[in-house]
């Protein structure tokens, strides 16, 4: 595991964006697993900037987002479809036909764990998976549980996630209670993983995930078993870790 502590949010974002640009330059047909949330906003801004000056070309890539709320239309300002358009897709030359986000359609006829995960496999698997982390150690919307999940599925969000995400909605009652998410198995199949975390609120989950026992009660802890993972955290998120 590569564990990198950066000075602040900006340098975390810059480093993560550089790694993604390198990946796409090395393999212009890369399959990227993408994340939403406040944490990756800065790195997406850097990817847009890199595209604008001609440092990177996204025309050949395929993307698979980690998750989406159930019940929000793609035009809802808190849906992850909307987030991806706002922060990345509408600003760069990603082919929207190859930008996948789990949605209701994908669970209409067949179970989502067949359709979305099968699509990822059919695309050749994910070359680089970007992850944030929840205060409870979730990755995607894989909440603490008795087991590690396998493929894409529907989850009931925990109260702590609903509370954490309510900051983005008018009231806590508007936060969806359920979501679609890639499974832990999908995430572990990625050839390379980059996890970013920033701020004091992530300090405990970063410590527990990367320096504690591997347990489905802290879903990100399974990443200790990934063969190619780079964790990029700022000083605030690293403050409880036994490093440096």
Query: CB burial class (10 A; 0-12, 13-18, 19+) of residue 244?
Result: exposed
Q: Which of residues 54-93 bind ligand PGA (CB under 6 A)?
A: none
Q: Contact letters (x/-) for ligand PGA, 89-128, by CB under 6 A?
A: ----------------------------------------
Active site annotation includes 138: yes
- Give the helix ranges, DSSP H, for the chain: 9-26, 41-52, 80-87, 112-122, 159-165, 184-189, 203-211, 235-238
The C-alpha atoms of residue 199 and residue 234 are separated, in whole angstroms, by: 7
Complex with ligand PGA: residue 50 or 196, whichever CB lies closer:
196
Is residue 38 close enough to count as binding ligand PGA by CB under 6 A?
Answer: yes
The continuous run of DSSP H or E covering 181 comes out as strand 178-181
Strand order across the beta sheet in which 2-6 lies: 2-6, 229-234, 193-197, 128-131, 31-34, 62-65, 99-100
Candidates 107, 133, 152, 233; binder of ligand PGA (CB under 6 A) is 133
Complex with ligand PGA: residue 89 or 179, whichever CB lies closer:
179
Candidates 33, 42, 132, 151; binder of ligand PGA (CB under 6 A) is 132
Report how far apart, in Å, the C-alpha atoms of 225 and of each of 117, 174, 178, 212, 215 are. 21, 36, 28, 12, 11
Taking the complex as a whole, how short is the minimal distance between the CB of residue 155 and ligand PGA, in angstroms? 13
Given the residues 81, 87, 138, 153, the one annotated as active site: 138
Active site annotation includes 142: no
Q: Which residues contact 9 (CB under 8 A, 6 or more apart)?
A: 42, 198, 199, 234
Taking the complex as a whole, how short is the minimal distance between the CB of residue 220 and ligand PGA, in angstroms? 9
Active site annotation includes 186: no
Given the residues 67, 127, 234, 235, the one annotated as active site: 67
Asked whether 125 and 191 are in contact (CB, 8 A), the reply is yes
Is residue 37 close enough to count as binding ligand PGA by CB under 6 A?
Answer: yes
Given the residues 46, 143, 186, 208, the one annotated as active site: 143
Active site annotation includes 136: yes
Candidates 134, 137, 183, 219; binder of ligand PGA (CB under 6 A) is 134
Tokens linked to 93 = 């030359």
Could you list the active site residues? 67, 136, 138, 143
Q: Which residues sit at the interface with ligand PGA, rule CB under 6 A? A: 37-39, 132-134
């Amino acid at each position: 595991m590569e564990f990198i502590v950066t000075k602040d949010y900006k340098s975390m974002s810059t480093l993560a964006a550089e790694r993604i640009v390198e990946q796409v330059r090395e393999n212009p047909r890369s399959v990227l697993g993408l994340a939403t949330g406040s944490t990756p906003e800065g790195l997406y801004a850097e990817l847009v900037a890199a595209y604008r000056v001609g440092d990177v070309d996204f025309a050949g890539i395929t993307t698979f987002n980690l998750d989406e709320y159930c019940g929000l239309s793609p035009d809802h300002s808190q849906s992850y479809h909307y987030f991806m358009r706002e922060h990345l897709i509408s600003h760069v030359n990603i082919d929207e036909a190859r930008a996948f986000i789990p949605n209701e359609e994908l669970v209409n006829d067949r179970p989502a764990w067949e359709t979305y995960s099968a699509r990822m496999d059919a695309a050749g698997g994910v070359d680089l998976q970007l992850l944030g982390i929840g205060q409870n150690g979730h990755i995607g919307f894989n909440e603490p549980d008795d087991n590690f999940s396998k493929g894409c599925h529907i989850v009931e969000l925990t109260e702590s996630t609903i509370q954490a995400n309510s900051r983005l909605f008018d009231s806590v009652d508007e936060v969806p209670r359920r979501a679609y998410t890639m499974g832990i198995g999908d995430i572990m199949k990625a050839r390379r993983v980059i996890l970013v975390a920033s701020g004091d609120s992530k300090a405990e989950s970063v410590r527990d995930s990367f320096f504690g026992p591997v347990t489905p009660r802290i879903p990100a802890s399974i990443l200790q078993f990934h063969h190619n993972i780079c964790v990029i955290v700022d000083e605030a998120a690293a403050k409880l870790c036994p490093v440096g």
